[in-house]
Each structure stands twice: as C-alpha cells, then as structure tokens.
Structure 1
Amino acid sequence: MSAAVQGLPRTVLRLHRTALLIWAAVVAGLVGWLVYLNEVTAPATRRAVQACAHADVCIDAFDSFDYGNTVGWVGTLICYTFLAVAVFAGGALVGRELESGTARLAWTQGVTPVRWLTAKLALSAVAVAAGGLALVLVFRWSWAANEDLIPVTNWYQNDIIVARGPLTVAYGLCALAVGALTALLLRRTLAALGAAFAAMWLLNFLLTRYRADLWPAVTRTSPSEPDLAYDVWRVNWGRNADGYFAVYHPASHFWALQWVETGIVLTVAALTTAAAYAVLRRRAA
C-alpha cells in the first residue's frame, strides 16, 4: 500500500479540521445549553411554580412556558443540523476539490477515486454519527427529566420527534450522501451545496407531511365526542352519520413512527451512496 493511501485519512482530517472543530463546538454548545437548562433553569422554574401554587395570578408561573419554548428551540436546532451537513458535504467535502481539480491531482498520486471518496465519507460519517448520537442522548435526558415543564411542545412535532431519536443520525448520514452525490453530478461548489440543501429539505418536508401514514393510526368511534388523552396526535376527527370519530396516534406510537422513518431515510442514504460511487467511477473513467 502506498504512502499516499496510508496517509489519506490523516490528509482528510487535516484538510477539513476547521469544519470538524466547528461541528464539535456546535455539539458541545447545544449539550452545554441543555445541561444548563436542566441544572439551573428547570429548578428555578419549578420553585417559581411551587411558590405560586396558592396565588390567584402569578407571572412567575409563566416561566414554565419560557422553559418549554427554549427546549423546543434546542430541539429545532438539533433536528435541522442535517441541513448544515448537506451544505458541508456538497460544498467543502467534495464539491470544492472537484471544482479546483485537487481531486484529480490526488488520483494521480496513488489514491484511487474510490479510496478518496471512501475516506471522506467514512471519516465524516463517524463525526456526524457521534455528534448526532450525543445530541440525541442529552436531549432525551433533558426531555424526560422535566417533561412536566414543557407545556407548549408535543412529542409529534417534526423537530421534537427527530431530535428525540435515531432520526437525527439518519438524516445526518443521508445529508452526507446527498451532498456527495450532488457535488459529483454538478462539480460546482455553490451549485452542489444549494442542491444538497434543497434535496434534504424536500426529503424532510415530504416525510413530515406523510409521517402520520407511516404507521397505522387508531380509529375510535362513539355516540358522543370521544375523550382522548391530552398527548395523542390527532390525525383526523369529526362527526358523521354514526356519531363521532377520531383517528389518532397515541404516544406509544412514537418508536414505531421513529423506526419506520429512520429505515426510509437510511435506505435513501444507502441508495444515494451507491449512486455517488457509480457517478464517481464514470467521472474518473
């Protein structure tokens, strides 16, 4: 094995060390924010709510809503990290080297195109998966510890359902593959990062739009309006000739919806990765 091949992972890390440091800083910042919310903000909010338990009106009690909003914003940031990954993969990771010609230079130095792309995708995938897993675990801990103080967010919201499960990692890996494919197809940095961003946004939009159909919902009918739990996801409800009906997902469907969508996203990632290698071989030839 040539020295160029042996030193390829080190070269990739050195070339993209700035992006790696930024990603590490983002993960550390969001984790630190969640820890602060749970260790400082949540106890203070709980004390304010308890102090207002016997008061008719207490403004401090609304701090619980502020806490819920803040946790929701953190969940939104975690959810949409995949858009940043898509931009990085389409632009800096692959697109810039193809546009500048440094990729072809590397291919003449004993590094085959397949090894070149594999090193870039593999090392980036490890960083994306490790960071995403850390964010999911801390967010789940944060959510479970003070769920009673989060009155304005629901488990089925797009950003929350992604941030609380493996979908965060799946979307990140898919964004990596989509970015690589768009860069190989377009060979222009700005065009590739824009196309990767748009493709991942569209994928998330479509899956969010049809998420309720990924798992069979519960249908309930009754002569009077059904009394449903407060945390159900109401898909459809109303009144017909037979009385009232409600179609909904209970909270227990969280993992079923989570794993089905994760499977779809990972399948898209695998197919996109295979397409990227096929395009690379054709371009290199």
Structure 2
Amino acid sequence: MTTALTATTAPADRTPRGPRGLVWTVLRVHRTALVFWALALLGATAVLIWMYAIGDEARKGDVPCATPAREGYPGCASVESITVDDVYISWIGLVANALTYAIWPVAAWAGGALIGRELESGTARLAWSQSVTPTRWLAAKLAVPAVLLAAGTGGLVLLNNWARGDGDPDLVGDWYNADAFVGTGPATVGYTLAGLALGALAGLLLRRALAGAGVGLLAALVLCGVLERFREDLWPAVTRTATGRLEMPRSALVTGRDERTMDGVRHIRVTYHPESHYWPIQYVETGILLAVAAAATLAAFWLLRRRTP
C-alpha cells in the first residue's frame, strides 16, 4: 500500500518588487556615484576636523600688532611668523565653495547618468516591463539620491559651522559672501535638492545622457545666478541716516548709499543688511529652492505619465 504524499515546494526566489528592491537597484546601478559621494564626504569631513584643530592657532595670526610690541598688541614679527592662518583661510574657503556649488555636479549627474542615460539606453523601459511602474521607478530614482544628498550636505554644513569657530570674517569671510552664506545654512540642502530635481526633469525632457547633463547644469547655473543676484532683495533692508559721518556695523551688506551736501552739511543715507538678517534671508532662499525642487519634481512626474502608457 502506498501513501500519496503531497510535497510542498518552496517558492522560487524572486526579485524584490517593493521599495527595498528598487532602492537596492538604484544603489547598485549608480554605485560609482555613491562611492564618489562617500569619498567626497570623508575628505571634506577630514579637512573640517583639521580646520577645527588649527582654528585657535589661525586666530592668533589674525590680530592687531605693533612694532615694537606694547600692552595688548603683540609684536608684528611674531604674528607674521604664524602662517597657519593662511592655510586655514584657504581650506575653509575650499570646503565652503564645494558646498555652495555642489548643485552643479548634482544637476549634471541627475540629468545625464541618473535619468538621461537610462532612457537613452532603454534600461528604464526594461524595468517598466518587469512589474515596476514608471511612477515607482522615478520615485525611487529621486528619493534615494535625495536622502543621501540631504543627509550628506546637511552633516557637512554642521561640521563647517563647527570648524569656523567664532566666524571671524577676516578668516572665513563676511556672512553675505556667496560661499560663506550658502555653505553655512539650510540653503545648501535646498540647492542640492533643486539641482537633483532640475537635472531629472532635463533628463526626462531630452532622453539623452549628454543633453540631459548639459541642460541640467545650465538650469543650475541660471538658478544660482538669479538667487545670488537678488539675494539682498529677499528681506527688507535697514535704512540709517546721519549728518557728517556714519559708522556702519561690522559685516554690514550695504545695498544703497546716498550722500548730499546741503547748507555746508553732508547728509548720508545708507541702506544695508546687518548680520542679523542672515537667518531670515537663509529661510526665504531655502523656501524658494524647495519650491523649485517641488515644482520640478511634479513636472517630471507629469511628463513621465504623459509619455508612458
């Protein structure tokens, strides 16, 4: 007598179709960019830790001096022998510039490698034919780098502010300089996210890697130029008037100055942004950048739905 046994076979391994599978696919396909981003973060972190370590020594070389030395003023010869302040200024400025203009390579990469190349080669359509909808594909393409870029740039901004110490303008630049302004606040994250969205939209529009990279970079350049040009108009300026002479606060961004002499007396009218306007302008500019990123993202999804069944 034989007994019929019902064997239950284990289901065959399947490629994950959920968000986890898409996330892993994005990371694997763009692993070169991921490695480059990780190395850039590690390099910038090492530099900023070094800047923090030499910050006190750099500030010793940035003080008033006298020849010969007298009370409260060290000898100029001893101050001039301290060259670490030049090293500090150079490297802290380099990191600030990298944070300020990170939007350029991000936009070019998003338009070329992230979106444009996959549409040009047909890789995207292959993914869509394997139960991955175009909407989910684009969502993963944008969400994964957005998280990595926001976390990385946000962390570097915190490290940059830590390394800058007391923010001495003679060492790190005035607050309104483009690199000092963008590289020390949330606008850094806003710029990178806007660059990602603009680049992705360019890649979807042109469906070519080289063209998408070029147009994405151009859009980033235009955005940076416009905001830098009109930054002083993002918040109401302060106006001061005086007769004879007017002393301006340290690190004031002067936007207008009018001097007239009437009845032998000089009248001065100055419009400026004090350093206290740094945060209001930061918040307004960041809001604009996030709005640009959101608009470009919505446009990208709309365009994708129009072009796919």
Q: Which residue of 1 aligns with 2:43?
A: 29
Aligned-residue offset at 1:283: 1.4
Alpha carbons 1:90, 1:196 under 8 Å: kept: yes
Q: Which residue of 1 aligns with 2:158?
A: 137
Richer in helix (by share): 1
What amino acid is aligned across from residue 270 of structure 1 in structure 2?
A: A
Alpha carbons 1:65, 1:152 under 8 Å: kept: no
Residues 165-202 of structure 1: CA distance to partner in whole angstroms, max 9, x if unpaired? 01111111111111110000001100100110110111
Alpha carbons 1:225, 1:245 under 8 Å: kept: no
Q: 2:235 aligns with which of 200, 215, 232?
A: 215
Aligned-residue offset at 1:3: 4.3
Cα 1:246/1:14, change in 2 over 3 Å: same
Residues 44-78 of structure 1: CA distance to partner in whole angstroms, max 9, x if unpaired? 3345568x753244422464344223312210111
Alpha carbons 1:90, 1:182 under 8 Å: kept: yes
Distance 1:227 1:149 in 2: 18
Cα 1:107/1:152, change in 2 over 3 Å: closer
Distance 1:173 1:133 in 2: 11
Q: 1:15 aligns with which of 29, 38, 44?
A: 29
Distance 1:109 1:82 in 2: 33
User: Percent identical across equivalent pairs?
Assistant: 44
Q: 2:175 aligns with which of 136, 152, 155?
A: 155
Distance 2:23 2:260 in 1: 64
Between Structure 1 and Structure 2, whose CA radius of gyration is higher?
2
SS of residue paired to 1:175: helix
Deviating more after overlay: 251-260 vs 41-50 = 41-50
Structure 2 residues not aligned, in runs of 5+? 1-13, 66-72
- For the pair 1:253 / 2:274, whether they are aligned, the reply is no
Distance 2:242 2:61 in 1: 41
Cα 1:123/1:178, change in 2 over 3 Å: same
Cα 1:46/1:223, change in 2 over 3 Å: closer
Aligned residues: 282
Q: Which residue of 2 aligns with 1:174?
A: 194
Q: Which residue of 1 aligns with 2:110?
A: 89
Structure 1 residues not aligned, in runs of 5+? none
Q: Which residue of 1 aligns with 2:210?
A: 190
Cα 1:4/1:87, change in 2 over 3 Å: same
Higher RCO, Cα 8 Å, sep 6+: 1
Distance 1:69 1:233 in 2: 23
Distance 2:171 2:56 in 1: 16
Residues 197-218 of structure 1: CA distance to partner in whole angstroms, max 9, x if unpaired? 1101110100000000000000
Residues 211-230 of structure 1: CA distance to partner in whole angstroms, max 9, x if unpaired? 00000000111112311112
Q: Report the TM-score, using the length of structure 1 for normalisation.
A: 0.93
Distance 1:119 1:176 in 2: 13
